[in-house]
Amino acid sequence: MRFLFPMLGLAALAGLALHAAPALAQADAAQGQKLFQQRCTICHSLSAAQKKPTGPHLEKLFGRKAAAVEDFNYSAGMKASNIVWDEKSVTDYLAGPAKLVPGTTMPVGVPQAADREDIVAYLKSLPK
């Protein structure tokens, strides 16, 4: 019994450290890949060779102009946006798609800042 309390204390400390970790953590591309698979692949592929009617492919996204995928039926808002996708613009788009691009037809964003950072880190890690 004498050892139980210190051990509980240690377990509690370990738990605290785990909880604190996400706030301190750097953007995590591996976690971003998971999130991308859960939240984005339903509409987007990562390859120009794989077309989906639900969303433009995101191959070589960084440095690309918005609405650049031929054959994809973009909104007028996206076509007029004049965005070049970089870390900031992708993050802002995910934070509030219709706020950055009024009239956009992408219906979902990523509410959590840490999740956005992870997804962007993952997309940046892909071949340029």
* Binding footprint of ligand HEC on the chain (CB under 6 A): 39-40, 42-44, 54-56, 58, 61, 66-69, 74-75, 77-78, 85, 90, 93-94, 101, 104-108, 110, 119
Give whole-number Cα distances, 93 to 25, 66, 77, 98, in Å. Answer: 22, 11, 13, 8
Structure tokens at 98: 């219709």
Is the Cβ of residue 17 or residue 47 nearer to ligand HEC in the bound state? 47
Question: In whole angstroms, what is the distance from residue 44 CA to residue 97 CA?
Answer: 15
Give the H or E element holding residue 77.
helix 76-79
Is the Cβ of residue 14 or residue 42 nearer to ligand HEC in the bound state? 42
Least Cβ distance, residue 67 to ligand HEC (angstroms)? 5
Is the Cβ of residue 26 or residue 38 nearer to ligand HEC in the bound state? 38
Question: In whole angstroms, what is the distance from residue 107 CA to residue 123 CA?
Answer: 20
Least Cβ distance, residue 46 to ligand HEC (angstroms)? 10
Q: Exposed e or buried b for every residue in 60-97, given b needs 16+ CB within 10 A?
A: ebbebebbebeeeebbebbeebebebeeebbbbbbeeb
Least Cβ distance, residue 61 to ligand HEC (angstroms)? 6
Least Cβ distance, residue 19 to ligand HEC (angstroms)? 24
Is the Cβ of residue 55 or residue 87 nearer to ligand HEC in the bound state? 55
